[in-house]
A and B are shown apart, each in its own frame.
Chain A
Amino acid sequence: MDFDLTEEQRLLRDSVDRLLADHYAFDKRRAYLAEPEGWSRAMWSRYAELGLLGLPFDERHGGFGGGGIELMLVMEAFGRALVLEPYLATIVLAGTALRLAGSDAQQAALLPGVADGKLLLAFAHGEAQARYDLSDVLTTARPKADGWVLDGAKSVVAHGDSADRLIVSARTGGERNDEGGITLFLVDAQANGVARRAYALRDGTRAAEISLSGVEIGADAVLGTVGGGFSVIERVVEAGIAAVAAEAVGAMETMQAMTLEYLKTRQQFGKPIGQNQALQHRATEMFVSLEQGRSLAMLAAMMVDEPDAAERARNLAMAKIGVGQAARFVSQNAVQLHGGIGMTEEYAVGHYFRRVMVIEHSLGDTAHHLSRLAQTAG
């Protein structure tokens, strides 16, 4: 048992922090947000140069073979700086699907491009009626000669607007909520029949509603086995949970630091407001929440590659619950303790607040995972 970072891991963390310190001050971030896609292609290239875009992939495919801890370090740093680029969508979600289910040929064809920063992906799984039920898939894939025809609609696909390729889940068998009969497909985002409507989420990151009408794809577009997509989807969501848990911890760190700074400098009644015991205790409770959340983000990073599926699922559900609750407490109190300035669009704390709010509602919210955990808790 140890919680020490290796020398390489420390270097990784430091180099990401340095890159973001140089290029991701809050006003620069504001400029990236104003770009057409809502994020910076220039930053994406810098991540590629630093090796971040190949981090979890096999070295054969231009990657670095990083695991859960490496991803945690990157996502924490991204959370601290409130990074806008489609790292979660491309590298973590779609990347995990490709890494776990892709054939050698598929990985060889796509991953080097991803690692270079030339190819963007999105994980188009969620549907409007499904809420957070991973097996609730209505999109269909009908077999045809040499391939498949996709019909359906995907909802709130993170960075689905920028993606070059989509990983789409569709039913090749079974009924609406069956775990069996779901298949993953690689779909060109420009294919005939794919329509995307882009919009911003509450935190400024982009997403898309994607409709698929008679989209024709080849037999080689199947990712993994026909009908066996569900277990891959679970792994993708678990990888995503581990990543956003770390990102939320990074965001909480910044909110906590900003709040402490404000408590020490803001004067009212002739003294810093941080001398008031009510605020001191609240700040201490935020510290406790942040550290408890960090513990669970660490747990998620260490459990994300655990071979025992039930144990892995249970721990990642706990991480999503605990980090979500901690983030809600820390973010709400960060705004509260800032008072009026915390409510403004101009000030950074509200942006962090909205990022952790979006994180809490993605990949299954607190209530969803508590309910799942409760099923086996008696």
Chain B
Amino acid sequence: MDLSLSPDESAFRDEVRGFIRDQLPDEIGERMRSGHSARKADIVAWQRILNKKGWAAYSWPEEWGGPGWSAVQRMIFLEEIQGAPAPEVNPFNITMLGPVLIQFGSPEQKARFLPRAANLDDWWCQGFSEPGAGSDLAALKTAARREGDEYVVNGQKIWTSTAHQADWCFVLVRTDPHAAKRQEGISFVLIDMKTPGITVRPIVSIDGSHHLNEVFFDEVRVPVAMRIGEENKGWDVAKFLLGNERTGIARLGKSKERVKFAKEKAREMRAHGRPLSEDHEFRRRIAQLETELKSLEITQLRVLSAQKAGEGRQDPLTAVLKLKGTELLQATTELAMDVGGPLSMPDWADELEALSNEPELGPVWATEATRSYLFLRAASIYGGTNEIMKNIVSKAVLGL
């Protein structure tokens, strides 16, 4: 047993860190460091810089335009990106759709979509959840009836992140309403968001932002050639997608960045006549969080080590990464918010956008830390709630 990175891995870390330092545009870096979430234009610009280097599709094999990295290299890459902080690559393109296309796509589908996904020429979104199918995804009702070479899609998706910015959507549709099992009548199709009959309605979330949408399909015609995998086998594709990329699931780099951010800001804030960073209660909270982060970091290394050793089976520890990772992401964003004290209350976003000549009302980092806290309450909901994850673990791992 050995914790240290190999000389090659250390050199790789330095290379990634150096690349981000030299290539991340100053303006984007500045916005990220002050605690803003990345704008669409920032994400596109940065992902294209990464793609030029061959790093955007960081989890893909070389054959399809990825760097062909090991699991350890992927972990290092993500930690450096999140820690910088720099915008993260579009997860719908890179960690969700890409591996699905590589595994299930036809040669034509791969050639058409993979390079564009890597370069963010197409912005993808995910059409899975429906009003009646959240945790119980197989209850989905959006119907696709076959008419010659086309499916005609009718129904509604919800919680569709970035649908309003997306060019394409990968969608689970019901192609056989009479299948013996609900899971057996589902297909996985790619839909151009410009197709007539699609309506996107915004859902404003508790952080005040517009990430989420409802997407309505009304007689939307989709070529059968846009189906991934066989008809009525879409559930297998969806399961592959949801279980595929586990390296970044803990989002440790992001949680560590939030702690670092909180510590920096705590030096500027004062409590009881001293810097907040010297307050014992504050420090104890940091110590507690850093202990849990360290533990999760080792757990993540254990998962990577098992992967490296070629243990192909699903590692039960990935459930720990998801459950504890989201808890810590929420706890660290909570910490960053709490550092603001009374400054965590105001919502200055509109004032800041107005770019008036008035002096700033207060520090933008505090308002953004609160926004990040609010936004990431979703971390234990999206991609399967933590409660559903516990159901799964209790059956699949504990045998209950």
Decide yes or no whether B397 CB sits under 8 A from chain A: yes
The contact string, 1 if C-beta is below 8 Å from chain A, for chain B 301-321, is 110111011000000110110
Q: Is the CB of B2 within 8 A of A371?
A: no
A268 CB-CB contact with B under 8 Å: no
Decide if A321 is an interface residue (CB 8 Å cutoff): yes
Stretch of B3-11, B148-156, B177-185, B239-247 that contacts chain A: B3-11
Whether B390 is near chain A, meaning CB under 8 Å from some CB there, is yes
Judge if B355 is at the interface, Cβ distance under 8 Å: no
Considering only CB atoms, which chain B residue lies closest to A261 in the complex? Answer: B399
Given A295-B299, A302-B1, A322-B292, are A1 and B6 neighbors across the interface (CB < 8 Å)?
yes
Tell me whether A318 and B390 are in contact in the complex, defined as CB-CB below 8 angstroms, given that A1-B4, A69-B1 are known contacts.
no
Q: Say yes or no: is B72 at the interface (Cβ < 8 Å to chain A).
A: yes
Q: Which chain B residues lie closer than 8 Å to A295 at the CB level?
A: 295-296, 298-299, 302
- Which B residues are in CB contact (< 8 Å) with A318? 290-291, 294-295
Verify B398–A292 contact, CB threshold 8 A.
no
Q: Residue B117 at the A interface, CB < 8 A?
A: no
A residues apposed to B, CB below 8 Å: 1-5, 69, 260, 263-264, 274-275, 277, 279-281, 283-285, 287-288, 291-293, 295-296, 298-299, 301-303, 315, 318, 321-322, 370-371, 373-375, 377-378
Contacts of A374 in B (CB 8 A): 280, 283-284, 286-287
Residues of A within 8 A of B306 (CB): 3
Q: A264-B399, A378-B278 are in contact. Are A291 and B317 (CB under 8 A)?
A: yes
A2 with B294, Cβ < 8 A, contacts A292-B299, A302-B2 known: no
Residues on the A chain within 8 Å of B391, using CB: 277, 280-281
- Is there an interface contact between A378 and B286, defined as CB atoms closer than 8 Å? yes
Within 8 Å by CB of A2, from B267, B298, B308, B395, lies B308
Collect the chain A residues with CB atoms within 8 Å of residue B2's CB: 1-2, 302
Are the C-beta atoms of A378 and B283 separated by less than 8 Å? yes
Chain A contacts of B275 at CB under 8 A?
378
Q: Are B282 and A291 in contact (CB under 8 A)?
A: no
Against A, the Cβ 8 Å flags (1 = close, 0 = not) of B232-276 are 000000000000000000000000000000010011000000010
Smallest CB-CB separation from B4: which chain A residue? A1
Q: Name the A residues within 8 Å of B294 (CB-CB).
A: 296, 299, 315, 318, 322
Is B277's beta carbon under 8 Å from chain A? Answer: yes
The smallest beta-carbon distance between B6 and chain A, in angstroms, is 7
B174 located at the interface, meaning its Cβ lies under 8 Å from any Cβ of chain A in the complex: no
Number of interchain pairs (Cβ within 8 Å): 138
Q: B3: shortest Cβ distance to chain A, in Å?
A: 5
List, sorted by A's number, 7 A–B pairs whose CB atoms are closer than 8 Å: A1-B4, A1-B9, A264-B400, A275-B400, A287-B398, A295-B299, A374-B286
CA distance A322 to B391 in the complex (A): 25
Across the interface, A375 reaches (CB within 8 A) one of B263, B283, B288, B323, namely B283
Contact call B301/A296, Cβ cutoff below 8 A = no
Q: Which of B3, B287, B296, B317 has the most CB of A within 10 A?
A: B287
How many angstroms between the C-alpha atoms of A159 and B350 in the bound complex? Answer: 67
**Contact A377-B283, Cβ < 8 Å, known A281-B394, A292-B299:** yes
Which of A280, A291, A373 is in CB contact (< 8 Å) with B394?
A: A280
Once bound together, how far apart are the Cα atoms of A301 and B304, in whole Å?
Answer: 19
- The residues of B that contact A301 with a CB separation of less than 8 Å are 1
* A281 CB contacts on chain B under 8 angstroms: 387, 390-391, 394
Contact of A283 among B3, B72, B394 (CB under 8 A): B394
Chain A residues with Cβ below 8 Å from B298 are 295-296, 298-299
- Cβ-based interface call for B141 (8 A): no
Contact of A378 among B282, B301, B387, B393 (CB under 8 A): B282
Cβ contacts under 8 Å, A5 to chain B: 1
Contact of A280 with B1 at beta-carbon distance under 8 Å, contacts A373-B290, A374-B287 already known? no
Q: Are B400 and A373 in contact (CB under 8 A)?
A: no
Q: How far, in angstroms, from A276 to B296 measured CA to CA in the complex?
A: 28
Measured between alpha carbons, how far is A375 from B290 in the docked complex, in Å? 13
> CA of A127 to CA of B390 in the docked complex: distance in angstroms?
45
B324 is an interface residue with CB less than 8 A from chain A:
yes
Q: A284-B390, A295-B302, A303-B3 given. 7 additional CB < 8 A pairs?
A: A3-B301, A283-B398, A285-B390, A291-B299, A296-B294, A322-B292, A374-B284
Alpha-carbon separation in the docked complex, A302 to B2 (Å): 7
Chain B neighbourhood of A3, CB < 8 A: 1, 301-302, 305-306
Chain A residues whose CB sits within 8 angstroms of the CB of B299 once the complex forms: 291-292, 295
A296 x B400 contact (CB < 8 A): no
Q: Kindly provide the distance from the CB of A268 to the nearest chain B CB, expressed in whole angstroms.
A: 14
Chain A min CB distance to B34 (Å): 21
**Nearest CB to that of B290 among chain A residues?**
A377
Contact (Cβ within 8 A) B393 A1: no
Q: Give the docked Cα–Cα distance between A275 and B263 (Å).
A: 44
List A contacts of B287 (CB < 8 A).
Answer: 321, 370, 373-374, 377
Query: Who on chain B is nearest to A321 by CB?
Result: B291
